Amino acid sequence: MSASSECRYKYEECKETADWLLSRISQKPTVAIICGSGLGGLADLLENRTIFPYQDIPHFPKSTVQGHAGQLVFGELRGKQCICMQGRFHFYEGYNITTVTYPVRVFFLLGVEILIVTNAAGGLNPDFNVGDIMIIKDHINMPGFAGQNPLCGPNDDRFGVRFPCMSDAYDKCIAELAREAAEEQGCTSFLRRGVYCMLAGPTFETIAECRALQILGADAVGMSTVPEVVVARHCGLRVFGLSLITNKVVTDYDSKERANHEEVLQTTRMRTQDLQRLVSHLVGKL
Ligand code: HPA
């Protein structure tokens, strides 16, 4: 068995996880939300919650990163049945790329139709400010360039086609609804739109790497989201993504600034309420 196929989950395992969850909830979710670092508070907005710690769910991986609770929260948000993933799996934690995306296939089998992803990201676009919220219009799958695509290996047609299209990965209609929601909430002054680039991490980027990513057309850089979006699109989910710009990347050799996780968490704390309000308002409009 090759290294890349070792951690590949079978359809039957995803189905077992989905059936286990379905037998324990009264209403099927139609919207799934993956909460980024420090953004797990979104799950607290759900009403009539049913909570499953990851370690209790059959076949579910365990979360290792600080600031991630590691549980699935089912409940109602603005009249919609939702499932919130409090704590995601990152490639830099050492998970196989197919493990990172396992929950998305479970969401699909639960009957979820829309996936909302949030993340913390470094701002590459010089016009962006710390605290901006960026609607993801497209992505650059840098690990995919290096052969780390969650769809590598045998294709299971029950999930999707062998060669899925990615030019329409981010749903334009949902993005438009989000813009309306932001307007209604008076938060357009810090709303942006742009391209998210995923790197594997866990190192933050060098100055040369940041400059290269800017030339490639990326507006924000982070260490998550893209594998989940790829798998979601493969199985036909509609996707909407938001990046919270937690820091500005360093592109100047004379700068004394240093990217650090504390700044990421600090900005997240500052904007978490705005982001939660925006997502919940958006869900009400779906
Ligand atoms: N780089 C990569 N990932 C990140 C950053 C960054 O600057 N900020 C938050 N996540």
Where is 263: in which H helix or E strand?
helix 261-285
DSSP assigned state of 95 = -
Best residue among 264, 267, 268, 275 to mutate for probing ligand 1's pocket (most ligand atoms within 8 Å of CB) is 264
**pLDDT at res. 148:** 95
**pLDDT at res. 260:** 78
Q: How far apart (Å, rounded) are the C-alpha atoms in residues 130 and 123?
A: 7
* CA–centroid distance, residue 200 to ligand 1 (Å): 11
Q: Which residues are catalytic?
A: 37, 68, 90, 92-93, 120, 223-224, 247, 261
**pLDDT at res. 261:** 82
**pLDDT at res. 66:** 57
Give residue 225's domain range.
3-285
State the total domains in the chain: 1
Q: What is the CA radius of gyration of the chain?
A: 18
Residues with CB under 6 A from ligand 1: 120-122, 204-205, 221-223, 246-247, 249, 259, 264
Q: How far apart (Å, rounded) are the C-alpha atoms in residues 73 and 206?
A: 37
User: Which parts of the chain sit beneath pLDDT 70?
Assistant: 1-7, 64-69
107-162 pLDDT, tens digit per residue, is 999 999 999 999 999 999 999 999 999 999 999 999 999 999 999 999 999 999 99
Matching residue, tokens 């068995």: 1
Tokens of 208: 């040369």
Measured from the Cα of 222, ligand 1's closest atom is: 3
**pLDDT at res. 256:** 81
Q: How far apart (Å, rounded) are the C-alpha atoms in residues 112 and 99?
A: 19
The CATH number linked to 198 is 3.40.50.1580
Nearest CA to ligand 1 atom 6: 122
Tokens of 142: 């840098």
